[in-house]
Amino acid sequence: MTDLPFLTNLLLAINDLLTSAVLIVSFSLLVYLVLQNRYTPIARALAVLLGSIVVVFGGDVLTQQVQREETLHILLRAQWLGIVGVPAGYIHLADALLDFSGQRHLRRRWSVPVAYAISVVFLVFAWGTDLVLRNGVQVQPVAQFNAGPLFWLFTVYFAIACLIGLAASLRVRQAALTPTLRRRMTYLSLTFVGPAIAVYPFLVIPGPEYFVPFALVLFLVAVGNVAVMLMTTVMVYSIAFQGLPLPDRLIKQDFIRWVLYGPFVGVCIALFLRATPVLARWLGLPEQVLLTAGVVMMTVMMPLFVNRLKPYLDALVYAQDHAEIDYLRALPRNTFTQTDLRSLLENTLVVVCGALRSETGFVAAPDDAGGYTVKMLVGSRQVVRRFVNDHPLVDLIERLSRLPPRPAGDTPPAETFLRVEGFWLLPLRAPNGELIGCLGVAYPHDTLGADARRLIGALAHRMELALETVQMQQRLFNTLRGLGPDMQSLQHLSTQLEQATPASLQTLEADVALLPEFPQLVKEALAHYWGGPKLSESPLLGLRTVQRILDEQGGSPTRALQAVLRQAIENLRPDAQLDPSAQEWLLYNILEMRFLQGRRIRETADRLAMSESDLYRKQRIAVEEVARQLALMEEAANRVAVEKNL
């Protein structure tokens, strides 16, 4: 290669780098596609095209380093596994696109296995005969075969498959009803020839002598490699996520993040490894030293660079919602969690007890079950447990609620404290005066001095602020959890409308889980779980999960719906290691007693030690959780159905 002109050597080096870059980009896109959307026919067909590019360019990378002629011939023939895969992949993709748009045709179904069979035949010819390839020759510095008698027949098959795929993408674009789907199909049509350009063996055509200067051929190959990287990336973005229940902005964000952490970092590392020998000769340093230093620098610098670049790319994705997304991203850092609350209460109690020379103190606050519990204590646990057993917190809170509120900013007067058996108790109140807990300190003296009351009052204000903040956050989180099924349904509906075709609109109305009244339907079915028209005539009978187990239930739709509801409730059963007083166990117990066991409201409330009004409120939350579980089960059933139809 050193005897070649400088321009040729330069172009060869550039093409080596670009070949590695195309391999990295294609492999990264293939892995991402398989991980994210392997269940849909469109994604699987596209995976065939990407896999073919990986095989061909992987072979190119290996042939650049091979030293034995026998190995070179094997690699050149093995690349045809990827070359013959592209026309079959195009026909597979065309069939999947037309199916997606509702243009199903039974006769066209046979075209996919026929295309793969034809590709296998050409692969056998290319691997074991001279019908497609013949007379392996060394055309310096690129090794290639000559075209065999059937090579031109393969070219016709290759071209026809590409045209079929392009025609299908244009037909789907015409059938698209929304600007989003039409825009994606436009991108697909413009980049559809990317895999064909990538794998077609152009260098087989000229034979041993080129009709154009070799430097021009290398330049065209370099331009083609750059075009292939861009076109395959846009092609994957255009259709890889068709059928996923995700809004367009989330698809863009996930795709950009993957490109940054996959192809971008991989290409940078490959370029550095290829440039290391040149830099070593130029600087006069050992290659191993530069390689070690560069790996260390790139390991540290690349994540920092990606993290710096990602916010700017996200700003383009969330151009309309930038302020909301930034606030939500900062929310985890600003949230005052239960762990933060326990830490603050513990530190405050330690300071209070230390200042009063007391060994024991506690803070009580409302729990999820509607009662009160000790949120934090310092000192002797036995002393606090004995005190709480002798004086239930509910009774203490009732007595504390009758005490006068303490003035803001002043030393709390003695009458704002309650003394009970060696403990001094101070009510903790929200800004609106509502009682949100109490502070208790074991202090044996009959009176509290002004300094002690001033210190307790100042620190109690911090506790009140923390308790009120956490309670407000908990109410907000509960609201968001209740909105979860609705938000998920809206996102799913929005995605279906973005990807709408006439065929998809015909099935949209039949999707029961997307109906706005879906939670109400679940509530009515649970209320009539043991029989009634709200169960036997429920629209939930149309759920795919119900239809799937119909035969298992003796063909009875009612029993099938009962089984699905029972499974949804069972999915909400918490782990056995979870605290029995946790909110999750309370919701599960309500569902089991009220619906699976059929107990009355009064009996359930008595067994769970809660008021009827609180039971109704918790029951509503529990039913919403069942609706969410049913929606998730239905989504999983839809994925299984899609996979079976492949």
> Which string of DSSP letters, residue by residue, matches 444-487?
-SS---HHHHHHHHHHHHHHHHHHHHHHHHHHHHHHHHHHHHHH
Three-state SS for 142? strand
What pLDDT score does 208 carry?
A: 44
Burial of 494 (0-12, 13-18, 19+ CB in 10 A): middle
Say how far apart CA 631 and CA 427 lie, in whole Å: 44
Edge-to-edge order in the sheet of strand 423-429 = 372-378, 361-366, 435-442, 423-429, 418-420
- The answer to whether the beta carbons of residues 626 and 620 sit under 8 Å apart is no
What the block records as the tokens of 212 is 């154009």
Percent of the chain clearing pLDDT 70 (strictly above) = 79
Instruction: Give the span between the Cα atoms of 177 and 464, in whole angstroms.
Output: 55
Residue spans of the domains in the chain: they are: 6-243, 246-330, 338-473, 510-644
Q: Helices 214-239 and 179-191: crossing angle, nearest 10°?
A: 160
The predicted model gives 83-96 an average pLDDT of 91
| 566, 556 contact by CB (below 8 A) | no
- Same fold? 6-243, 338-473: no
Residue 214 pLDDT > 80: no
Residue 381 has pLDDT above 90, yes or no: no
pLDDT of residue 485 exceeding 60: no
Q: Given its phi and psi angles, is residue 226 left (phi above 0), alpha (psi -120 to 50 degrees) or beta?
A: alpha
Query: What pLDDT score does 4 carry?
Result: 56
The reported pLDDT for the residue numbered 55 is 93
CA dihedral over 59, 64, 68, 70, signed as positive or negative: positive
Predicted confidence at residue 1, as pLDDT, reads 46
Specify the fold of 6-243.
Rhopdopsin 7-helix transmembrane proteins (1.20.1070)
Q: Averaged over 254-264, what is the pLDDT?
A: 78
8 Å CB contact between 172 and 98? yes
pLDDT at position 287 is: 79
Count of beta carbons in the 10 Å neighbourhood of residue 223: 11
Side chain identity at residue 143, one-letter code: A
Which of 74-83, 361-370, 444-453, 473-482 is the least confident region? 473-482
pLDDT tens-place string over residues 385-397: 888 888 888 888 8
Indicate whether 371 pLDDT > 80: no
Does pLDDT of 500 surpass 60?
Answer: no
Q: What is the pLDDT of residues 311-370, one digit of tens each?
A: 776 666 665 555 655 655 655 555 666 777 778 788 888 888 887 888 889 988 887 666
**DSSP 8-state secondary structure symbol assigned to residue 263:** I
- Residue 244: predicted pLDDT: 62
**Sign of the alpha-carbon torsion through 121, 122, 128, 131:** positive
Q: Checking phi first, is residue 243 left (phi over 0); if not, alpha (psi -120 to 50) or beta?
A: left
> Would you state the pLDDT for residue 90?
93
What's the pLDDT at 2?
Answer: 47
Residue 154: band (very low, low, confident or very high) from pLDDT cuts 50, 70, 90: very high
Nearest 10 degrees: CA dihedral of 630, 635, 638, 644?
-110
pLDDT at 501: 58
Predicted pLDDT of residue 10: 78
Non-local CB neighbours of 590 within 8 Å, separated by 6+ positions: 604, 608, 615, 618, 619, 622
Structure-block tokens of residue 388: 């709480």
Give the separation between CA 46 and CA 40, rounded to whole angstroms.
10
Run of H or E including 644: helix 612-644
* pLDDT (0 to 100) of residue 183: 83
Share of the chain above pLDDT 90, in %: 7
Confidence of residue 470 (pLDDT cuts 50, 70, 90): confident
| pLDDT of amino acid 114 | 92
pLDDT at 300: 79
pLDDT of residue 53: 93
Q: Report the distance separating Cα 343 and Cα 340, nearest Å.
A: 5
* 72-76, 138-142, 303-307, 459-463: range with lowest mean pLDDT: 138-142
- Name residue, tokens 């093409």: 15
Tens digit of each residue's pLDDT (9 = 90 or more) over 114-153: 999 999 999 999 888 888 887 665 555 566 777 788 989 9
Residue 103 in contact with residue 175, Cβ under 8 Å? yes
Nearest Cα residue to 146 out of 201, 202, 205, 200: 205
Q: In this structure, which amino acid lies at residue 508? A: L
The DSSP result for 362-415, as a single string, is EEEEE-TTSSEEEEEEES-HHHHHHHHHHS-HHHHHHHHHTSPPPPTTSPPPGG
The β-bridge partners of 419 are 424
The residues pairing with 426 across neighbouring beta strands, listed in sequence order, are 439
Which runs of consecutive H residues, i.e. helices, occur in 101-213? 106-109, 111-128, 151-175, 179-191, 194-199
Structure tokens at 141: 């510095």
Q: Which H or E run includes 423?
A: strand 423-429
Residue with tokens 């999915």: 571
Residue 646's pLDDT is what?
A: 43
- The whole-angstrom separation of Cα 259 and Cα 265 is 8
Contact criterion met (CB below 8 Å) for 451 and 356: no
CA distance 198 to 383: 78
Is the previous residue joined to 557 through a cis bond, with omega within 30 degrees of 0?
A: no
Of the segments 121-130, 297-306, 482-491, which one has the largest average pLDDT value?
121-130
If we measure between CA atoms, which residue out of 509, 549, 526 comes closest to residue 624?
526
pLDDT at 459 over 70: yes
Q: CA torsion, points 146, 150, 152, 157, in degrees to nearest 10?
A: -130
Q: Does 205 have pLDDT greater than 80?
A: no
User: What pLDDT, on a 0 to 100 scale, did the predictor assign at position 284?
Assistant: 79
Contacts of 77 (CB under 8 A, 6+ apart): 126, 127, 133
Q: What is the pTM of this model?
A: 0.60
| pLDDT tens-digit series, residues 557-612 | 888 888 888 888 888 888 766 666 677 788 888 888 888 888 888 888 888 888 88
Task: Please tell me the predicted confidence (pLDDT) of residue 364.
Answer: 87
Region of poorest pLDDT, from 152-166, 169-183, 503-517: 503-517
Is residue 433 scored above 90 in pLDDT?
A: no
CA 631, CA 625: separation in Å to the nearest integer?
10
Neighbour count for residue 353 (Cβ, 10 Å): 18
CATH class of 338-473: alpha beta
Distance of alpha carbon 519 from alpha carbon 440, whole angstroms: 44
